[in-house]
């Protein structure tokens, strides 16, 4: 959970690098929270009869997407920096199928060891601070 909160606190930080653990733990909790929100919408609609859809959209999940859009973008840019790619590589996601696969491959790849043009390796910084 600390990784999720860390990313939300760094929502406007597009500089530096993000470890795989930071990126994927955020992705895990982000997905879990979204599932809970969608289940809540289903319960409110089916059990209580409260219709949340406005023009075909469920406002709770859309609000969550809107709130987390910038933090997701920021952590993705920092993750790409960790593997030595520009943050602009995020735009490759707009290439159907290939873009998603390429971003996935980059985010699961190990970061560059040592310092790169985007900063020091976050694994090494964490290890130094804990000793």
> Degrees (nearest 5) of the Cα angle 124, 128, 129?
120
Number of structural domains in the chain: 1
Q: Which residue has the tokens 């920092």?
A: 78
**Domain ranges, residue 27:** 2-130
pLDDT tens digits along 92-114: 999 998 999 999 999 999 888 88
Provide the 10 A C-beta neighbour count for residue 6.
15
Q: Cα-flanking dihedrals φ and ψ of residue 116, to 5°?
A: -125, -170
pLDDT tens digits along 8-62: 888 888 888 988 999 999 999 999 999 998 888 888 777 777 666 654 567 788 8
């Amino acid at each position: 959970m600390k990784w999720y909160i860390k990313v939300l606190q760094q929502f406007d930080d597009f500089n530096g690098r993000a470890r795989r653990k930071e990126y994927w733990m955020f992705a895990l909790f982000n997905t879990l929270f979204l599932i809970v929100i969608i289940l809540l919408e289903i319960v409110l609609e089916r059990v209580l009869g409260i219709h949340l859809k406005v023009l075909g959209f469920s406002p709770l999940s859309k609000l969550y997407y809107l709130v987390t859009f910038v933090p997701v973008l920021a952590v993705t840019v920092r993750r790409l920096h960790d593997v030595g790619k520009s943050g602009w590589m995020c735009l490759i996601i707009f290439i159907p199928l290939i873009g998603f696969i390429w971003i996935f491959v980059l985010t699961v790849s190990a970061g560059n060891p040592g310092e790169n043009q985007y900063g020091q390796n976050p694994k090494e910084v964490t290890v130094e601070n804990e000793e």
